[in-house]
């Protein structure tokens, strides 16, 4: 069976246009016209959910998460295609032993839905979807840049041993940090380029209330959020852990 990991407007459209029966990942609400496992994405949850799955489309657009998904899929022999913003474009990559996304994108940079959207502005979604399907069916890799599509190849020397699945990464969510605020605290060391996030948010018409070199106070989806340089995100008036994770993945990513 096929499954999508990562819930967002793009992956929901892909699920509908390709009749993918299962979509996995945190979202603000339960999806209705497709089977949706509205759960956190982390190593133990994904490993058990993927037991019955043969093919995975990774639409998380987050790097560290993608590395974890890839480790699990390579171990279980599940065909995996990932879509990630990469350099000036988008990479659509079929993971193979000795050709993994982890090795070609090892910068551990932060990316999210909006970074992908930026790159999509030059390519339409239908083209992206076509390329994703070809990548899965023909086990090929592509780079999409300025509306052009190139087939690419890459190779690596790693033996696809577990790395991210067994190390401390990710975020700790505390739904009650006082005053009705919830917090997401990265457990790994990260440093966000706050300026870059500020520009990103502005490009996507997200309302910035206040900002300086260390944080951005912005308003989105009816909530006030504070994003700090170390990746911490504070969200007003939200207690639901899954919804908190959804917002973190969408606005910050990992
Ligand atoms: Zn590798």
Residue 44, both tokens: 């133990």
- Residue 155 CA to ligand 1 centre (angstroms): 7
Q: What is the CATH number of the domain that holds 65?
A: 3.40.50.720
Neighbours of 45 (CB within 10 A): 14
64 C-alpha to ligand 1 centroid (Å):
14
- Strands 148-152 and 223-228 turn out to be unpaired
Q: Is 201 exposed, middle or buried (0-12, 13-18, 19+ CB in 10 A)?
A: buried
Cα of 66 vs centre of ligand 1, distance in Å, is 13
Q: Are residues 174 and 235 in the same domain?
A: yes
Please tell me whether residues 178 and 115 are part of one structural domain: no
Q: Is the pTM of this model over 0.75?
A: yes
Range of the domain at 85: 2-164
Residues 74, 107, single domain; the answer is yes
Q: What integer pLDDT is reported at residue 246 of this predicted model?
A: 96
Q: Are residues 7 and 125 in the same domain?
A: yes
Element (H, E) at 137: helix 125-138
Q: How far is the CA of 153 from the centre of ligand 1 (A)?
A: 13
CB burial of residue 91 (10 Å; 0-12, 13-18, 19+): buried
Last residue of a domain, one of 122, 145, 164: 164
Query: Are residue 175 and residue 130 in the same domain, yes or no?
Result: no
Bridge partners of residue 83, in order along the sequence:
92
Number of domains in the chain: 2
Last residue of a domain, one of 100, 131, 164: 164
CA of 97 to the centre of ligand 1 (A): 7
- Residue 176 has what pLDDT? 94
Which residues face 183 on adjacent strands? Answer: 174, 234
Q: Are 112 and 190 found together in one domain?
A: no
* Protein residues with C-beta less than 5 angstroms from the ion ligand 1: 100, 103, 156, 158
Across 6-18, b (16+ Cβ under 10 Å) vs e yields bbbebbbebbeee
Ligand 1 centroid to 211 CA: how many Å? 39
CA of 248 to the centre of ligand 1 (A): 27
Torsion from C-alpha of 108, 110, 116, 121, nearest 10 degrees: -110
Q: Which of 110, 140, 164 delimits the end of a domain?
A: 164
- % helix / strand / coil in the chain, to the nearest 5? 35, 30, 40
Retrieve residue 62's tokens.
């987050």
User: Distance, CA 103 to ligand 1 centroid (Å)?
Assistant: 4
> For position 170, what pLDDT does the model report?
82
- Are 160 and 184 in the same domain? no
The answer on 131 and 12 residing in a single domain is yes
Check whether residue 116 and residue 180 sit in a common domain. no
CA 69 – CA 95 distance, rounded (Å): 10
| Mean pLDDT, 10 residues at a time, the chain of 254 residues | 97 96 96 93 90 96 93 95 93 95 81 93 90 98 93 90 76 92 92 95 97 96 96 96 96 92
* Beta-carbon contacts of residue 32 (< 8 Å; ≥ 6 apart): none
- Same domain membership, residue 147 and residue 24: yes
Give the β-pairing of 148-152 and 89-94. unpaired
Residues 217 and 159 in one domain: no
- CA 10 vs CA 31, 118, 174: distances in Å: 14, 13, 28
Tell me the C-alpha to C-alpha distance, in Å, between residue 23 and each of 46, 68, 242: 12, 17, 15
Instruction: Say whether both 196 and 124 belong to one domain.
Output: no
For residue 200, the domain's CATH number is 3.30.310
Cβ contact 211:230 at 8 Å: no
């Amino acid at each position: 069976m096929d499954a999508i990991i990562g819930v967002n407007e793009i992956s929901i459209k892909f699920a509908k246009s390709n009749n993918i029966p299962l979509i996995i990942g945190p979202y603000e609400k339960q999806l209705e016209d497709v089977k949706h496992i509205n759960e956190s994405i982390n190593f133990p949850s994904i490993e058990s959910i993927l037991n019955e799955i043969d093919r995975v489309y990774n639409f998380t657009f987050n790097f560290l998460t993608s590395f974890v998904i890839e480790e699990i899929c390579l171990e279980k022999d599940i065909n995996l295609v990932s879509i990630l913003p990469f350099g000036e474009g988008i990479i659509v990559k079929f993971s193979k032993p000795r050709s993994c996304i982890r090795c070609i994108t090892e910068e551990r940079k932060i990316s999210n839905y909006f970074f992908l959207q930026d790159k999509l502005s030059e390519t339409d979604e239908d083209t992206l979807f076509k390329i994703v399907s070809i990548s899965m069916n023909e086990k090929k890799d592509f780079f999409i840049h300025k509306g052009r599509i190139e087939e690419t190849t890459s190779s690596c020397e790693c033996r696809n041993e577990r790395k991210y699945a067994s190390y401390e990464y990710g975020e700790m969510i505390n739904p009650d940090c006082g005053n009705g605020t919830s917090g997401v605290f990265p457990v790994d060391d990260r440093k966000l380029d706050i300026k870059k996030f500020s520009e990103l948010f502005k490009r996507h018409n997200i309302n910035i209330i206040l900002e300086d070199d260390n944080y951005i106070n912005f308003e989105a989806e009816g909530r006030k959020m504070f994003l700090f340089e170390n990746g911490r995100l504070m969200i007003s008036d939200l207690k639901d852990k899954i919804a908190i994770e959804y917002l973190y993945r969408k606005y910050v990513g990992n």
